[in-house]
Amino acid sequence: MGTPPRVIFAENEDSFTWNVVECLPVPRDAVRLVRGRVLAADPAALEGFDVLVVGPGPTDPIRAGLVGLVEEAARRGLPTLGICLGHQALGLCFGARLVRVEPVHGRADPVSFGPSRWFPGQEGVHEAMRYHSLVLTDVPPPLRVVAATVDGLPMAVEHPDLPLAGLQFHPDSHGTPRGREVVRAFFDAVVGRGP
Amino acid sequence: MTLSDLDRLPSFALLGPGFGGDGWRLLDPLEPCGAAAARLAFAPFEAAGDRPFLFGAGRESVLSGAPDGDPWEGTPRLDPAGYREAVEVIRESIRAGDVYQVNLTVRAALPGATGPTILAALCRRWVPRFAAWVRLPDGTEFVSGSPERLFVTGGGRVFCEPMKGTAPAGEGDWLLASAKDRAELAMITDLVRNDLTPVCRPGTVEVPCARRLLDLPYAVQSVSDVVGDLLPGLSPLDVLAALHPGGSVVGAPKGAALQAIRRLEAVPRGPYCGALGVLEGDHADFALLIRTAVRGADGWWYGVGGGIVHDSDPAAEWEEVRVKAGALACGTPRSS
């Protein structure tokens, strides 16, 4: 890839934002950080970017104002990767439910990836750090769950046609050894694929 | 000079050997200092880290030995009002996804205590890693026996050692087996990586060790190592601004945890959970001021607290607070 993809990053007042920035396969100066709520109110700011990353953060996607942002990205066909809160926003955008589960913060669990369009080559079991109290459930088509915990909680979802995908776990954590690889697989799959 | 002699000075900083000197050092915060001299930097918990109080430390003298004197022998006085409710508020916030962990602290009054007697109590059986007694010209005064390093810089590198998890000396295996302590440390390790990243060269922030035991004379703690290469032109004070207040005394995410602390803790922490360090050129060593007593309007108080996560049981957390307060002078309990 010649010039790196230009990334706009919806950050949500999290203490892991910079870890996600560092986890992206682009130089730091190719990433523009914008508060998610601000970006949602001004979707024209998405113009000129190749990838939207909707980062992690507290509260839930509705209170954080992110569902409309992902809808806008989907409408534009803008490649979008949601991490944790951003992943939940993607689910809600396509009609999944978001429910409380036993909170898991700072625990790495095995997560099984199946075949995936936007995370190609990631099939198998990954060790993945989790930080969440809420989880998607009843994920309806066209979204599909492409990774899950042993007890069946969705850990990654994707759209089969639009370049949209989400990761519930933190690929950026020091406790997710292959996290960068997963994120790179997404970027390689969505960037430069043509219209 | 004895501790009682020191108590007559209007302002001073007495720093233990952990702050990089050869033994105990006495610094004068009022004395202007040249560029080459050591400087003292202090940020109370509520202060923005980019505006620490900086003090000259020109007239430096070395004490011949550890401070002596009679230790404080009282019983710390804790007020349980509101604590259980605060833990439940945090647990509900965690269930709702609003916060992942909050470090909740309370004050234990130390009736009849003085600076010298608290320092003697903290040093009765061992000299803590970052022992200090500081009295500043603005009236701020505190005594610390902190075991926790916030960061050290030198040679263009920064090294952090976030600490979560405590067990009595010799019970390291118990600590390593604790899933709750493991998770709390993992979370703070990721938080410190995050906070270091903007002041470090891209791709250089690493975790060479995610969990190791730190043996102290009186306890064993679990810590991780987070390192990075500083961006050119940055000073240790830029690092302080990026890290302060230290993640291990706040919780995660920091913004939401700080809001919860402001809402749930009755009074500002002040020096407790703040940062104290010595700067010498590009070298700096900062302690995080836990196990710290502060002189307030109504006398001395000692801060105690712990990380509240969803697994936390209010009664067990309160018992932990009681034990930690009681251990001011005589030992360190297992963490909850």
C-alpha separations of B254 from A9, A58, B64, B114, B316 in Å: 19, 10, 42, 34, 25
Q: Residue B117: is its pLDDT beyond 80?
A: yes
pLDDT of residue A5: 96
Q: How far apart are alpha carbons A81 and B288 in whole angstroms? A: 37
pLDDT of residue B32: 62
Q: Which residues contact B8 (CB under 8 A, 6 or more apart)?
A: none
B1 band by pLDDT with thresholds 50, 70 and 90: low
**ipTM > 0.95 for the complex:** yes
pLDDT of residue B234: 94
Q: How far apart are alpha carbons B61 and B77 in whole angstroms? A: 36
In CATH, A7-190 is 3.40.50.2000: no
Whose CA is closest to B264, among B311, B325, B317, B316? B317
Question: Both tokens of residue B321?
Answer: 């607070």
Interface with chain B: mutation pick from A105, A107, A168, highest number of B CBs within 10 Å: A105
Whose CA is closest to B309, among A115, A159, A133, A178? A133
Chain A residues in contact with B195 by the CB 8 A cut-off are 15, 18
Q: Residue B264: is its pLDDT beyond 80?
A: yes
Note whether B192 contacts A: Cβ–Cβ < 8 A: no
Count how many residues are written for chain A.
195
pLDDT tens sequence across A71-124 = 999 999 999 999 999 999 999 999 999 999 999 999 999 999 999 999 999 999
- The DSSP string of B129-172 is TEEEEEE-TTS-EEEEEE--EEEEEETTEEEE--EEEEEETT-H
Please count the helices (runs of H) and the strands (runs of E) in chain B.
8, 19
Domain boundaries defined on chain A: 7-190
| Residue B314 and residue B293 in contact, taking contact as beta carbons nearer than 8 Å | no
Find residues 203-232 of chain B whose CB sits inside 8 Å of chain A: 203, 205, 207, 210
Range with lowest mean pLDDT among A62-76, B81-95, B275-289, B320-334: B320-334
- Average pLDDT of chain B to the nearest whole number: 89
Q: How far apart are alpha carbons B18 and B16 in whole angstroms? A: 6
pLDDT of residue B66: 67
Chain A residues in contact with B212 by the CB 8 A cut-off are none
Note whether B198 contacts A: Cβ–Cβ < 8 A: yes
Q: How far apart are alpha carbons A116 and A125 in whole angstroms? A: 14
Phi and psi based region of residue A84 (left: phi greater than 0; alpha: psi -120 to 50; beta: remaining): left
| Residue A7 and residue A46 in contact, taking contact as beta carbons nearer than 8 Å | no
Global pTM reads: 0.95
Note whether B197 contacts A: Cβ–Cβ < 8 A: yes
Mean pLDDT of the region A40-50: 96
Domain boundaries defined on chain B: 3-326
Is B202 in contact with A28 (Cβ distance < 8 A)?
Answer: yes
pLDDT tens sequence across B119-140 = 989 888 788 889 999 999 889 9
Residue with the larger pLDDT of the pair B235 and B58: B235
pLDDT of residue B327: 74
- Average pLDDT of chain A to the nearest whole number: 96
pLDDT tens sequence across B283-325 = 899 999 999 999 999 999 999 999 999 999 999 889 888 888 8
Radius of gyration over alpha carbons of chain A, in Å?
Answer: 15
Count interface pairs A-B at CB distance under 8 A: 102
Q: Residue A195: is its pLDDT beyond 70?
A: no
- The CATH classification number of B3-326 equals 3.60.120.10
First to last CA, chain A: 17
Catalytic residues of B: 148, 164
Residue of A nearest to B98 (CA): A59
Is A175 in contact with B310 (Cβ distance < 8 A)?
Answer: no
Chain B residues in contact with A15 by the CB 8 A cut-off are 190-191, 194-195, 247, 252-255
pLDDT of residue B20: 78
Q: Residue B256: is its pLDDT beyond 50?
A: yes
| Residue B133 and residue B121 in contact, taking contact as beta carbons nearer than 8 Å | no
Q: How far apart are alpha carbons A104 and B170 in whole angstroms? A: 29
pLDDT of residue B330: 58
Q: How far apart are alpha carbons A169 and A167 in whole angstroms? A: 5
Interface with chain B: mutation pick from A11, A12, A13, A15, highest number of B CBs within 10 Å: A15
pLDDT of residue B333: 46
pLDDT of residue B39: 84
Q: Residue B223: is its pLDDT beyond 70?
A: yes
Q: Residue B190: is its pLDDT beyond 90?
A: yes
